[in-house]
Amino acid sequence: MTNASTRCGYVAIVGRPNVGKSTLLNHLLGQKLCITSRKPQTTRHTLLGIKTEGDTQIIFVDTPGIHTNQERAINRVMNRSAASVIADVDVVIFVVDRFEWSEADEYVARYISNHEVPVIVAINKVDLIEDKEELLPHLQFLSAKVNAADLIPLSALKKVNFDQLEEKVKGFIPEAMHMFPEDQITDRSERFLASEIVREKITRQLGAEVPYQVTVEIEEFRVERTVTHISALILVEREGQKKIIIGNIAKTLGKKWKKLSEKEKENFRKMNEKDKIRYNQEMEMYNNKILNLN
């Protein structure tokens, strides 16, 4: 994550309602993050979708949409958040629906042209176009409307032409440190919450001794029926802080260990030789785990 050769950047997916923005984001991520629907304006809140592949981390922003009816307060609010999103990204994917070009699309086009941000026009839902030849004149039409870095016909639903889109997007992602762990796919994952809980517990238990330098990385997050297995890595900046945290963990484990061993001793006496050997091996492993912590 601290490697200088890594890339990280933000991508906004914009377009009038119902063109397929959320479908595109979900399929680019390979996970369902956003609600998609036939009803426009399903997306009310800005949501981050994170995709890390090798050195490149792309953070997609699904905007609440840009709305032409400025009269309605909710639309004004949504426009404001869309505008602030556009100002902060490295590239914009402007999604349009096949040959449709309405006043709303015109509005979005004008909107993004106010910002000095590269624009890729995604002509979506091409799976519904029978004669692909018809696309050519439309591409010319769109070029005249939008100062686009590229125009890519695709299908968000059928995942057509994703390679081309992703290649183009990557070209605009600057060299930067990754903002999120590579396995995180949204800014609101359970993993993220789990790491925050661990971090919170540490800071609460240790107080001022370990201030803000604690980073928690979730190494494993596995759901097995009703049980969730979570392994976390706790990263600190200084050796001294490590000792404090390990000391605390060892203390807690040690207490449990004592309690456990009383009961286990009883069981041990009842065991046959073969089981005793296996038990000893297991105990040694367990002891080593505790030793490793120190």
Closest CA to 85 of 66, 114, 57, 61: 61
**Residue 124 binding Mg ion, by CB under 5 A:** no
Determine the interface stretch with ligand GDP among 17-25, 73-81, 143-151, 212-220 (rule: CB under 6 A). 17-25
Closest CA to 154 of 123, 183, 199: 123
Q: Which does 69 bind (CB under 5 to 8 A by kind): Mg ion, ligand GDP, none?
A: none
Closest CA to 22 of 1, 53, 44, 4: 44
In 10 A of CB 264, how many CB atoms? 12
What Cα–Cα distance (Å) separates residue 271 from each residue in 134, 244, 268? Answer: 80, 39, 5
Nearest approach, Cβ of 15 to ligand GDP (angstroms)? 6
Q: Which of 10, 11, 12, 15 binds ligand GDP (CB under 6 A)?
A: 15
**Residue 64 binding ligand GDP, by CB under 6 A:** no
How far is 63 from 75, CA to CA, in rounded Å? 12
Site for ligand GDP in 143-172 (CB under 6 A): 155-157
Q: Which does 178 bind (CB under 5 to 8 A by kind): Mg ion, ligand GDP, none?
A: none
92 vs 216, beta carbon nearer ligand GDP: 92
**Residue 27 binding ligand GDP, by CB under 6 A:** no
93 vs 216, beta carbon nearer ligand GDP: 93
**Residue 22 binding Mg ion, by CB under 5 A:** yes
36 vs 195, beta carbon nearer ligand GDP: 36
What Cα–Cα distance (Å) separates residue 231 from each residue in 19, 223, 228, 239, 281? Answer: 40, 12, 10, 21, 23
Paired strand residues for 51: 58
Q: Which of 43, 57, 155, 184 binds Mg ion (CB under 5 A)?
A: 43
Which three-class secondary structure state does DSSP give residue 62?
Answer: strand
Euclidean distance between the first and the last CA atom of the chain, given in angstroms as a whole number: 26
Nearest approach, Cβ of 45 to Mg ion (angstroms)? 11
**Residue 63 binding ligand GDP, by CB under 6 A:** no
How far is 256 from 46, CA to CA, in rounded Å? 44
Phi, then psi, of 62 in degrees rounded to 5 = -90, 105
Length of the chain, please? 294
Nearest approach, Cβ of 222 to ligand GDP (angstroms)? 30
Nearest approach, Cβ of 259 to ligand GDP (angstroms)? 54
DSSP secondary structure, 127-149, as one string: GG-S-GGGHHHHHHHHHHHS--S
Q: Which of 52, 63, 124, 195 binds ligand GDP (CB under 6 A)?
A: 124
**Residue 17 binding ligand GDP, by CB under 6 A:** yes
Q: In the complex, which residues of this chain contact Mg ion (CB under 5 A)?
A: 21-22, 43
Q: In the complex, which residues of this chain contact ligand GDP (CB under 6 A)?
A: 15, 17-23, 36-38, 40, 42-43, 124-125, 127-128, 155-157
